[in-house]
Chain A
Amino acid sequence: AQSVTQLGSHVSVSEGALVLLRCNYSSSVPPYLFWYVQYPNQGLQLLLKYTSAATLVKGINGFEAEFKKSETSFHLTKPSAHMSDAAEYFCAVTPIYNTDKLIFGTGTRLQVFP
């Protein structure tokens, strides 16, 4: 079954440091991929999505992700972390066998230290 794997359930960085959150997908056909963010005690909101138009996708709040077919990856990055980036981040994929739904990864909690 199609899925995404997020490496690292917790990531800690200092304010101003590079943020790198990892996501790998399992599919023989490039799927549609998403990153969602969940701030404390809130629902999820879309950060960015890959829909095959461009491999480097820019999202909100300075985040971006690069689709790499050869590595089956869609890692999320931000050059300089801010305290307000502390949240949980979810990678998700649209299964090719059913485009009506999303399959979410288990999430990565990002902590940002001053």
Chain B
Amino acid sequence: NAGVTQTPKFRVLKTGQSMTLLCAQDMNHEYMYWYRQDPGMGLRLIHYSVGEGTTAKGEVPDGYNVSRLKKQNFLLGLESAAPSQTSVYFCASSYVGQPPGTDTQYFGPGTRLTVL
């Protein structure tokens, strides 16, 4: 099992460009998440999905869009990149915990994005 994979690993964009980050998991998990990690701020949730075809906003959703067309994939889009979106992006997935809220999240290796 590959677990959670992220594509690409690194990317440099110019302000105003668009891109899509791809997250894939092979564990048949229902839930998937996108986080950004910035120094001194921990991980902040951008968007998440509780199942195929569903998405929901997290703490910092502005400037990002997501789609979950297939259960195993969760895409994060930046329509018009800004320097403030320079960050390390992590995808995670989890099963439905019993009781709810006790599930372990499994993380990908991250994508380092720089916006010039």
Interface residues of A (CB under 8 A from B): 9, 31-32, 36, 41-46, 49, 51, 90, 94, 99-107
Contact = CB atoms under 8 A, between A and B. Distances in A.
B40 A9 contact: yes
Helix, strand, loop or mixed for chain A's interface? loop
Ranked nearest first, the 8 interchain pairs of A and B with the lowest CB-CB distance are A99-B101, A43-B107, A94-B101, A99-B100, A106-B42, A104-B43, A51-B102, A104-B42
Given A100-B31, A100-B50, A101-B48, A46 B104 contact: yes
Interface of B: 4, 31, 33, 35, 40-45, 48, 50, 56, 58, 90, 92, 97, 99-102, 104-110
From B42, B48, B108, name the one whose CB has the most chain A CB atoms within 10 angstroms. Answer: B42
Given A99-B101, A101-B48, A90 B42 contact: yes
A24 B42 CA distance: 15
A45 B94 CA distance: 12
Contacts of B31: 100
B87 to A, nearest CB: 14
Given A101-B33, A101-B48, A102-B105, A44 B42 contact: no
